[in-house]
């Protein structure tokens, strides 16, 4: 089943809800100094056990709990750990049911903030963003999906092929120019506070929010760079057990077929020519999820222009700000964070994004024409390759999810071994978050047609049962036994996927 740009509302409703589990930090957040957070982190069992540095622990505390004297939102409001650091319609729907006063919905509660978001936050998961400046709030804004913040350490180094003059020092956000000032990842925090956390739309620092301190900037940066994976795969060395997924790997790499590896080398976010992160115009801009929000999204650049300077639909009318290019995101992490692209208009399954690349829209885009010039023919692959590439990406994603689960289970076991029944809350939350990743793995492996790794799925279910029993345990020795059993189930599930799918994971994955 392939769905390409489609009626978004219909498909979003059909996604399986992923519940916002556990506590969600909100308006009651504490106002602590960075120093106080660092001091508190010295007592954190994960820090004491050497699993996480004090700095990453404190950075996570800021990310999830600091509100910067703003409207009650934190970074974790839109980048929640239990939903792959992004929000989507199933998550939002669950939140509406469980906590309608969550600060995500502050625009419905505070008259001052009515225009902080549009209604499409609730219907399409789109966030109102003033990426081209705050000078005309009523008209000059656009709407984008929330990107996950995983594996940023591998995705932000800019490719000089895009030009270096005035270029941001890091590629952040969907258009690669998301951070203020020099455009560094460190400064993204300041921009995000101003955009999403203010108490009024005048957005005056010191009035509508407080600016982060230098120390807070450093700590939050360190935490964010330690999320997800910190290495790239070597796809030419990878071999997959599932024959169709293995074919998908070849199609992904093959210049005569998928050509994906040109821009997403090793299924990441970097260009194969440079190993760096490139902005490209793949014409996704022509498929917005809604045509009623602000101006159309022209991507990179266009800041502080008075009038639209870019013809988003190639129809001879300037309808957006920018140059049409967007930043290449990593694919491994994309598979379980639909819908896809900056517009949230593609999905619900990864195959819906793959199909974009054989559309006329892509072929006629600047990036499509560049590929044509490079290889001599327009991009072309059969529908059967969509299925194969989809299976290949699903296995990479499942392996990533299982590894994140394993990392959290291993850490929980270290803590049980060492601290027994003290701070069981940390052990248990790590177990719950491991389970969230196992659910993601099950979801991406569930596919119509030829079953994909059913044996692994069974083993993952058994691991989940062990985790559930471990969470019920009242004594550490029981929890220890269940954790060990869960870990061995996860290991044998993972062994099925293939060889050389080796992820190095950041320690930030242990924070919440
Ligand atoms: C109301 C929702 C919301 C909140 C709250 C929020 N973000 Fe985001 N975040 C977004 C959206 C939307 C984007 C895409 C912006 C763009 O394309 O420039 C984004 C993008 C990002 C990115 C870029 C990711 C990438 O792949 O390049 C980072 C990093 C980030 N946010 C960090 C933060 C931090 C730190 C905070 C806390 C101050 C925060 N966000 C708060 C919605 C939110
Ligand atoms: C010419 C460069 C280029 C090629 C080739 C390319 N991509 Fe992309 N890809 C991009 C860019 C740029 C984006 C961001 C587009 C946007 O946000 O609108 C993207 C986004 C994506 C996303 C969405 C990620 C997310 O988090 O939403 C997926 C999935 C994806 N590509 C898969 C593929 C696959 C599969 C192929 C091969 C069939 C492929 N890409 C080929 C440049 C490319």
Residue 242 lies in a domain: no
What is the predicted pLDDT for the residue at 10? 34
Flag whether pLDDT at 214 surpasses 60: yes
- Tell which one of 27, 79, 102, 169 to mutate to probe ligand 1, the residue whose CB is within 8 A of the most ligand atoms: 79
Q: How many domains does the chain have?
A: 2
Asked if residue 294 lies in contact with residue 140, where contact means CB atoms within 8 angstroms, the answer is yes
Of 191, 209, 225, which one is at a domain's C-terminal end? Answer: 225
Q: How far is the CA of 260 from the centre of ligand 2 (A)?
A: 8
Flag whether pLDDT at 3 surpasses 50: no
Residue 445 lies in a domain: yes
How far, in Å, are 286, 356, 360, 448, 501 from residue 390 at the CA level? 23, 13, 20, 12, 16
Residue 387 lies in a domain: no
pLDDT, tens digit (0-9, with 9 covering 90-100), for 122-134: 999 999 999 999 9
For the Cβ of 354 lying below 6 angstroms from any atom of ligand 2, the answer is yes
Q: How far is the CA of 340 from the centre of ligand 1 (A)?
A: 16
CB neighbours of residue 491 within 10 Å: 14
Which domain, by its residues, includes 128? 15-225
How far, in Å, are 7, 381, 408, 466, 485 from residue 419 at the CA level? 52, 55, 16, 20, 19
Residue 301 lies in a domain: no
Tell me the C-alpha distance between 303 and 175, whole Å.
12
What is the predicted pLDDT for the residue at 166? 87
What is the predicted pLDDT for the residue at 304? 83
Residue 386 lies in a domain: no
How far, in Å, are 68, 207, 218, 390 from residue 194 at the CA level? 10, 11, 18, 38
How far, in Å, are 262, 275, 279, 441 from residue 230 at the CA level? 20, 14, 21, 20
Which candidate, 298, 296, 125, 128, places its Cα nearest to that of 196?
Answer: 128
Of 192, 208, 225, which one is at a domain's C-terminal end? Answer: 225
Residue 412 lies in a domain: yes
Of 192, 225, 258, which one is at a domain's C-terminal end? Answer: 225
Domain containing residue 402: CATH number:
1.20.120.660
pLDDT, tens digit (0-9, with 9 covering 90-100), for 33-42: 999 999 999 9
Asked if residue 363 lies in contact with residue 379, where contact means CB atoms within 8 angstroms, the answer is yes
For the Cβ of 70 lying below 6 angstroms from any atom of ligand 1, the answer is no
Residue 251 lies in a domain: no
Q: How far is the CA of 225 from the centre of ligand 2 (A)?
A: 22
Residue 349 lies in a domain: no
CB neighbours of residue 451 within 10 Å: 12
Quote the pTM value.
0.95
How far, in Å, are 21, 133, 278, 410, 427 from residue 137 at the CA level? 35, 8, 30, 48, 45
pLDDT, tens digit (0-9, with 9 covering 90-100), for 430-462: 999 999 999 999 999 999 889 999 999 999 999
């Amino acid at each position: 089943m392939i769905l390409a740009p489609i009626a978004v509302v219909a498909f979003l409703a059909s996604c399986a809800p992923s519940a916002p589990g556990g506590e969600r930090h909100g308006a009651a957040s504490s106002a602590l100094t960075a120093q106080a957070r660092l001091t508190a982190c010295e007592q954190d069992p994960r820090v004491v056990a050497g699993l996480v540095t004090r700095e990453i622990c404190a950075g996570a505390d800021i990310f999830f709990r600091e509100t910067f004297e703003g409207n009650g939102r934190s970074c974790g409001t839109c980048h929640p750990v239990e939903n792959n650091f992004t929000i989507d319609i199933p998550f939002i729907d669950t939140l509406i049911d469980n906590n309608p006063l969550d600060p995500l919905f502050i625009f419905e509660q505070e008259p001052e903030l009515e225009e902080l978001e549009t209604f499409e936050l609730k219907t399409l998961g789109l966030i109102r963003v003033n990426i081209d400046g705050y000078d005309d709030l009523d008209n000059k804004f656009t709407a984008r999906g929330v990107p996950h913040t995983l594996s940023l350490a591998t995705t932000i180094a800019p490719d000089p092929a895009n030009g270096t003059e005035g270029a941001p020092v890091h590629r952040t956000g969907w258009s690669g120019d998301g951070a203020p000032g020099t455009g560094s990842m460190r400064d993204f925090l300041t921009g995000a506070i101003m955009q999403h956390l203010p108490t009024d739309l005048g957005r005056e620092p010191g009035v509508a929010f407080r600016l982060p301190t230098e120390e807070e900037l450093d700590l939050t940066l360190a935490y964010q760079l330690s999320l997800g994976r910190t290495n790239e795969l070597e796809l030419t060395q990878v071999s997959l057990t599932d024959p169709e997924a293995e074919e998908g790997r070849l199609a992904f790499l093959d210049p005569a077929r998928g050509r994906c590896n040109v821009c997403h080398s090793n299924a990441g976010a970097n260009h194969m020519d440079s190993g760096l992160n490139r902005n490209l115009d793949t014409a996704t801009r022509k498929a917005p999820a809604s045509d009623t929000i602000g101006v159309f999204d022209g991507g990179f650049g266009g800041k502080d222009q008075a009038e639209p300077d870019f013809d988003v639909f190639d129809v001879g009318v300037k309808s957006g700000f920018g140059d049409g290019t967007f930043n290449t995101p990593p694919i491994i992490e994309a598979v379980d964070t639909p819908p896809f692209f900056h517009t949230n208009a593609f999905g619900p399954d990864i195959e819906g994004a793959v199909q974009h690349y054989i559309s006329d829209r892509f072929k006629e885009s600047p990036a499509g024409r560049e590929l044509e010039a490079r290889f001599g023919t327009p991009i072309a692959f059969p529908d059967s390759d969509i299925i194969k590439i989809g299976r290949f990406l699903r296995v990479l994603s499942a392996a990533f999810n299982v590894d994140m689960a394993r990392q959290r289970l291993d850490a929980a076991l270290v803590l049980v071994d060492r601290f027994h029944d003290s701070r069981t809350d940390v052990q248990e939350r790590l177990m719950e978050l491991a389970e969230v990743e196992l659910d993601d793995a099950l979801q991406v492996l569930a596919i119509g047609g030829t079953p994909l790794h059913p044996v692994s799925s069974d083993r993952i279910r058994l691991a989940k049962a062990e985790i559930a029993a471990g969470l019920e345990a009242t004594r550490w020795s029981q929890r220890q036994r269940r954790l060990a059993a869960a870990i061995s189930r996860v290991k044998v599930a993972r062994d099925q996927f293939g060889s050389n799918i080796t992820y190095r994971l950041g320690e930030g994955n242990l924070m919440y």
